[in-house]
Amino acid sequence: MPTATIAGQEVTVDDEGFMTVYDEWNEDVGRGLASLIGIDDLNDEHWEAINFLRSDFADQGETATLRRVNKVGGIPTKKLFVLFPKKPAKKMAYIAGLPKPRGCV
């Protein structure tokens, strides 16, 4: 697997740049990943979604879909599109250091 240096830390990534090792992620890496896709300021609402994705992944073993983030995480889908424009599921997973959700192109 290839590696990338994010926020001064070497992390393992797949061919699309998604992290592949859960425990290599930390908030600094998350901020670095966000910056790479044009999200420069992560606020509390961003972190709520990111933290939900990470804890849900730890419990479920796969990256949550937008529907799950809405229904289980309680975060409205419209808000997710504002926080993570255009492709929120893919962008949230990328920043959270998780595999791309199933169904994402």
Is the pLDDT at 105 greater than 60? The verdict is: no
Active site residue 98: no
Predicted pLDDT at 103: 64
pLDDT tens readout for residues 12-56: 999 999 999 999 999 999 999 999 999 999 999 999 999 999 999
From the list 4, 7, 37, 104, the catalytic residue is: 104
State residue 61's pLDDT score.
Answer: 94
* Residue-wise DSSP of the chain: --EEEETTEEEEB-TTS-B--GGG--HHHHHHHHHHTT-----HHHHHHHHHHHHHHHHHSSPPPHHHHHHTT---HHHHHHHS-S-HHHHHHHHTT-PPPTT--
